A and B are shown apart, each in its own frame.
Chain A
């Protein structure tokens, strides 16, 4: 890793001021501290030494070790009293502190009983040790695992270069829905599940707090914003809220990997169904591993809403969900795989659970 300085602020606003200052108030000046607002190459990591927030560190430190991220300052927010890892229930839903570890989500009785998709997503992510370290906030912000992006020998488009080498290269792990010059697949298991659960994220920035639906939080990288989300560089995720569903919601998360465990998703599916009187009254279906952001299958959701659950319908839904897919040279397998997982996830989400489980 390149040298950097380390700061442990005591309040969120201190952390935000440090982010705003571009690190100028921490240690030596980097000479570029006033350029933050003017920069348009957000996400362009090369030569970007602006401060970064450190929480679990499970994504940031590998990026730094791999010479992909080069912050000159780290702002450790893990011990900020205003941030926490609590999981609280209110009439509006379940609110999860940004610092909650994946291990906590996977074990939390409330999450397990009300939102099994999230508990499953957490339990299928990474390894026990990484789940002890990684936080839900950081998990939503993790950068793609694309091997071109992660190579210090390739200046891909996402890092500020000209082209995406994966598009015509070794793209077996990449996107089948093309929505950006970048074809990396979004790596987060939690993001897929949380989007299926209709979650929102509370963010604090220099101007105060704002809340965004995850639908709006994730956005395909563009020339101006080479990043998978709309979080500003001076903002901090405070919490995530999963709203209470309109009825008896059931959810499921399924993930296919290159080996049995400890791999990023080839394809993942998060599904949430509310079924009342044998009819689906609300449906959310999200695919992971198929696009630079968690992929909401809106047309398929439309087909589900109002229909009676059943295998035939789900097979049809799976077809519709993959209609727009344009596989790259090496990832055609993701289409049949996604279809199979969609049907299974919907079957799981429509099968009454044993309440005692």
Chain B
């Protein structure tokens, strides 16, 4: 019996689902001798990607395909008084024009609509055109005449909080009821402390800048809509687009084969997904609508800016008596439902502490909406918490790793549940200190104006447990090959390969006999969004279950053919073994040949996460760097990273994820930040010229130290997710290393040259005035 699916609306409450298909699967023990899982392997789609043949959403070319462009608001807040699209409609080569004048009334962003007559940010959609070429569509946009009445606006967090601030929405600028958490009594804990650190940090809004922009190609066949969509969740797009267009879900098919990055921003449907469908219906031809880089950086998400006041109280011996955090973050002009941001989380869980208070306020501004960005909330919060912890270690004169060990959390204190692998973080501390030689570590001597420093930061991450339900089907073919069919998506993380390895392991087939199918709502069973570092942990157990289902059927066939009881059979490397004896192995294709053209079909589902355990990922990083005290230049030398991510299914791909996450962390720390002119409401760097993502020259040597202890209580594969964790500790470790090198604490990202030079100047001045500088 396949379990039914319960959609989880809004509240995020857990829904328990009975799943029979997984019940029989035995968890791979910690010391399981696996032959495919745990071994490095290049990506299955490698050949397509290195030859340019991998077809991304942007590359879809259908007969008669039109190209759409969107006219966007040049005002951060305005009322549209009049819109005239006549000239655009008459331009030769234009096939469809949509605006508030003719578009169906579709609700979007809570109280707004597809084409709202009030625009609330620069970039808001005002009209859309489909034409025979991108150039003609662009010409047509210039012919649309719009009269705006500008309205007062506010684009920065602090101003938006003022009582007399212009209102983004009539109800005011506080976008949600503040989220308050209390455990024990933080104020009392601060009073009881021997030492209190009280620091305020800010983080800049950063932009995902996936290289492939958001967008889709829409094509109708009668009442059936197909959407090729650059998305992290084909099933979410199907549901949301069907709802917006008032279509039953089975009339919407969403396909995503390859994707040029998402990083969290592509987990919900955005306006262009519906716009393309409407334009295509109006034009009677397929329509491709891909965002340009500017729109990509203006309207489809960002990691929002934060201000965080952190107070830590501790006893002389380092025992934390209180953690208190007052957190404010921008949300942009709209709530998208895809924020998934929890800035409070890490304060509540990373360290053992009886008294914790967090207070999280989110604020509207007239700028692009926030959406999940790789470890949303945690990246921002770790910068503050781990900076404050470093400060506390200095104030107490305790080794920063030792301070963290002394406040080690064995359980999830928010739910009073033990962690599935309580020693996970400790293992990371051990491996990291060993790898860097921490006990005897010596900072290199300064050379000229260059000062060396080392910094440490730890992290946890709330996801990694998997997002059931999730399903998989496996077809074992007559020639001993297998088609693994799922509805998940490979967003560039190596999902195809890691999951095919799980299938190959369980089926006893070599990897090259597996074809892995994903990213199509019409051909694969429901799978959850690829987010929260959860895909391997969500899908892996479902695939194991499906593989076991097939294998049991295979053994029944083999038992008949070989006249040997099924319980004496096993499968390895494409062969069926009797009593585990390789010398008596029969090729699987020989057995399957007996029943061909019949195939064997297996089904699997992912069961619920254990209700009595908290499943987390943990880790930390050491970062060595150098600061040039004359020019303020920071040069990274080496990063050592360790993460408890359970069993490592494919070390090659996992190492790439760690390096990639850290690279984005380097950008967040040192160079990236959305710049907005507060007077104009204008984002000044919605591009790749003045928005500085790291280049090869910005990335030092990165060592990923494998912890690789299977989390056998987490799921049947023992694997957790790795996508997000590596990015979390990078920025605080860099900031702490800068402090170590030159004694200044930069409390705002990016840790840019101007901030470092200003910090150095202030420190120099203070040093010249006072004989002693406080720690």
Q: Closest residue to B750 on the A side, CB-wise?
A: A258
Query: Interface code A171-203, partner B: CB below 8 Å = 1, 0 otherwise?
Result: 011000000000000000000000000000000
Which residues from 81 to 140 on chain B have a C-beta closer than 8 Å to any C-beta of chain A? 122, 135, 138-139
Which residues from 713 to 757 on chain B have a C-beta closer than 8 Å to any C-beta of chain A? 752-754, 757
Which residues from 1 to 51 on chain A have a C-beta closer than 8 Å to any C-beta of chain B? 1-3
Chain B contacts of A337 at CB under 8 A?
631-632, 753, 757
Chain B contacts of A262 at CB under 8 A?
695
Chain B contacts of A153 at CB under 8 A?
74, 122, 680, 682
Chain A contacts of B677 at CB under 8 A?
148, 165, 169-170
B185 within 8 A of A: no
Residue from B74, B135, B671, B758 in contact with A258 in the complex, judged by beta carbons closer than 8 Å:
B671
B557 within 8 A of A: no
Chain A contacts of B753 at CB under 8 A?
256, 258, 266, 333, 337
Chain B contacts of A170 at CB under 8 A?
675-677, 684
Query: Interface code A140-152, partner B: CB below 8 Å = 1, 0 otherwise?
Result: 0000010110010
In the assembly, what is the distance between CA of A260 and CA of B122, in Å?
31
* A256 and B682 within 8 A (CB): no
A304: min CB distance to chain B, Å: 20
In the assembly, what is the distance between CA of A331 and CA of B752, in Å?
12
In the assembly, what is the distance between CA of A45 and CA of B50, in Å?
42
Q: Closest residue to A168 on the B side, CB-wise?
A: B679
Q: How many residues of B contact A (CB 8 A)?
A: 35
In the assembly, what is the distance between CA of A222 and CA of B69, in Å?
38
Among A151, A256, A263, A336: residue with most chain B CB under 10 A? A151
A259 within 8 A of B: yes
A351: min CB distance to chain B, Å: 14
* B692 and A3 within 8 A (CB): no
* B757 and A333 within 8 A (CB): yes
B579 within 8 A of A: no
A332 within 8 A of B: yes
Interface residue tally of chain A, by bracket?
20 to 34
In the assembly, what is the distance between CA of A167 and CA of B697, in Å?
32
B71: min CB distance to chain A, Å: 13
Chain A contacts of B757 at CB under 8 A?
333, 336-337
A154 within 8 A of B: yes
A261 within 8 A of B: yes
In the assembly, what is the distance between CA of A157 and CA of B757, in Å?
31
In the assembly, what is the distance between CA of A332 and CA of B760, in Å?
13
* B758 and A154 within 8 A (CB): no
Which residues from 247 to 266 on chain A have a C-beta closer than 8 Å to any C-beta of chain B? 256, 258-263, 266
Known: A333-B757, A336-B761. A256 touches B633 (CB 8 A): yes
B593 within 8 A of A: no
Chain A contacts of B449 at CB under 8 A?
340
B698: min CB distance to chain A, Å: 5
Chain B contacts of A258 at CB under 8 A?
671, 692, 752-753
Chain A contacts of B694 at CB under 8 A?
259
Which residues from 301 to 323 on chain A have a C-beta closer than 8 Å to any C-beta of chain B? none
Q: Closest residue to A148 on the B side, CB-wise?
A: B684
Known: A3-B139, A169-B677. A259 touches B689 (CB 8 A): no
In the assembly, what is the distance between CA of A40 and CA of B278, in Å?
48
A341 within 8 A of B: yes
Query: Interface code B551-570, partner A: CB below 8 Å = 1, 0 otherwise?
Result: 00000000000000000000
Q: B-contacting residues of A (Cβ < 8 Å)?
A: 1-3, 145, 147-148, 151, 153-154, 165, 169-170, 172-173, 256, 258-263, 266, 330-333, 336-337, 340-341
Supply 7 further A-B pairs (C-beta < 8 A) apart from A261-B695, A332-B758, A341-B631: A2-B142, A147-B685, A169-B679, A172-B754, A258-B753, A331-B754, A340-B449
A-B contact pairs, 27 of them (CB 8 A): A147-B675, A147-B690, A148-B677, A153-B74, A153-B682, A154-B680, A169-B677, A169-B680, A170-B675, A256-B631, A256-B633, A258-B753, A260-B635, A260-B695, A261-B695, A262-B695, A263-B692, A330-B754, A332-B758, A333-B754, A333-B757, A333-B758, A336-B761, A337-B632, A337-B757, A340-B630, A340-B631
Q: Top 5 closest A-B pairs, CB basis?
A: A260-B697, A333-B754, A340-B630, A147-B684, A333-B757
Q: A-contacting residues of B (Cβ < 8 Å)?
A: 74, 122, 135, 138-139, 142, 449, 630-633, 635, 670-671, 675-677, 679-680, 682, 684-685, 689-690, 692, 694-695, 697-698, 752-754, 757-758, 761
